[in-house]
Amino acid sequence: MRYRCSHLADSLECLLLERAFCSYSIKMAGPQGNNMPNSEQELRRIAGEIEACTRCPLSRTRTRPVPGEGPPNAQVMFVGEGPGRNEDIEGRPFVGRAGDLLNELLASIRLNRESVYVTNIVKCRPITASQPVERQSHEAKDRRPTSEEIDACTPYLERQIDLIQPKVICTLGDTATRFILERYKLKAGNISKMHGRICSAGNLKIVPMYHPAAALYTAQLKATMQRDFRKLAGLLEQTTLG
């Protein structure tokens, strides 16, 4: 099986976008197979395991774990780095300002948030504090998860991917991009060089993108993400109709 990465030609965008809007918005939930109830039950089982998980120290500082959300037959999966403060409070992925931007970008290509699966590499918020959650200061800062935390948590993500079997995985940021590409034995690089590429692992397409949180503070990155989402729309047109 051959794995590769390539740039999606920008010239496809204008030609394919309108056809994409009419077609994949109907089909994005995926085929209604007989195994969907079983997949949904298994995803709930995984979520229950995550809620009880104590594999790494993040379980001692979390408010709520954030397993992920979306339909069990989603054709598109978004994978970020880890929950932030708002996600830690609500137990849902991408519900803060970065989540608002993600929703805006999805709407710009006429995708509903409810039609995609959204999750993270680690399911509990990585923070600088080491005290139990009830003794934490409000000044606790987010940080990148350690390699040990990633190793402890990503078996849950891998099971989610295997159950959902998305056609496209969009990785948001360096951490998610590196893990997913390496999982499929693809060469990973800095997100500044990888974003907007279409990476192929058999029938699966992987699209690295900047994390929405980074674009909140840099207008240029937001424009870059808007262009990359238009490329995603063209890819979905090809994936849905091809």
pLDDT digits (tens, 9 = 90+) for 119-130: 999 999 999 865
- Assigned domain for 133 exists: no
CB distance 58 to 32 below 8 Å = no
Mean pLDDT for 30-53 is: 82
Burial of 23 (0-12, 13-18, 19+ CB in 10 A): middle
pLDDT given at position 239: 72
| Strand residue runs (E) in 149-203 | 168-172, 197-201
Specify burial of residue 137 (Cβ count, 10 A radius: 0-12, 13-18, 19+): exposed
Residue 116 forms part of a structural domain: yes
Residue 24 has pLDDT above 60, yes or no: no
CATH code (residue 123): 3.40.470.10
What is the torsion angle, in degrees rounded to the nearest 10, for the CA atoms of residue 142, residue 148, residue 150 and residue 153?
Answer: -110
Domains: count for the chain: 1
For residue 7, what pLDDT band results from cuts at 50, 70 and 90?
Answer: low
Q: Hey, is 118 helix, strand or coil? A: strand
What does the block give as tokens for 203? 């029938």
What distance separates the 2 farthest-apart alpha carbons in the chain?
56
The per-residue pLDDT for range 141-186, each reduced to its tens digit, is 999 999 999 999 999 999 999 999 999 999 999 999 999 999 999 9
Quickly count: other Cβ atoms within 10 Å of residue 108's Cβ: 13
- Whether residue 186 is contained in a domain is answered as yes
Q: Is 79 left (phi over 0), alpha (psi -120 to 50) or beta?
A: beta
pLDDT of residue 219: 87
Q: Is residue 150 part of a domain?
A: yes
156 found inside a domain:
yes
Could you say which DSSP state residue 31 is in? -
Q: What is the rounded average pLDDT for all residues in the chain?
A: 87
Residue-range definition of the domain harbouring residue 107: 3-25+35-128+140-241
Whether residue 134 lies inside any domain: the answer is: no
